[in-house]
Amino acid sequence: MNKRLKFNQDQLSLPFGQKTARALSLEDRQKAFWFLASASLCCVLVYIYAMNAAAHNIAVRQNLEREVSETNARLSTLEFASIELRNSVTIETARTYGFTEVSEPLYVSRSAASALTLNTPAR
């Protein structure tokens, strides 16, 4: 079965109408060149600034990490000294500072009748 295909001369053109062709003039090419050159220069400057900012932030972070480690070391020595002082307190040490043992401890209760406010009776 041999089918014949019909081709039209304007079959592959778009249906939007014909536009006139326009050639680039020398002035347009110069404008395009200077636009692309200035955009490239701008991109290079932004890249240099970003690299400088990244290097600066890395240096600041390293200094902060060093300070944090030094502070943690000082904190751990202070905690160790605090534990030593807490373990060295005895009854004799407390008595030298004027503390005495209480024979009957006094406890605070949370009853409504003896509240810590105005001691007014409940209504």
**pLDDT tens column, 2-37:** 677 666 666 666 666 556 666 667 788 889 999 999
Per-residue pLDDT tens, the chain, 123 aa: give them.
567 766 666 666 666 655 666 666 778 888 999 999 999 999 999 999 999 999 999 999 999 999 999 999 999 999 999 999 999 988 898 889 998 888 887 777 666 665 555 555 555
Burial 85-116 (b: 16+ CB within 10 A, else e): eeeeeeeeeeeeeeeeeeeeeeeeeeeeeeee
What is the structure's pLDDT at 110? 67
Hunting for tokens 């220069």 — which residue is that? 41
Q: In 3-state terms, the chain is what percent helix, strand and coil (to 5)?
A: 55, 0, 45
What is the structure's pLDDT at 78? 96
CB-based contact 122:112 (threshold 8 Å): yes
What is the structure's pLDDT at 105? 79
What is the structure's pLDDT at 9? 65
What is the structure's pLDDT at 41? 98
What is the sign of the dihedral through the CA atoms of 13, 16, 18 and 20? negative
What is the sign of the dihedral through the CA atoms of 46, 48, 51 and 52? negative
CB-based contacts of 101: which residues, under 8 Å, 6+ apart? 91
How many residues comprise the chain? 123
Extract the tokens encoding 8.
């039209």
The domain locations on the chain are: 26-96
What is the structure's pLDDT at 16? 61
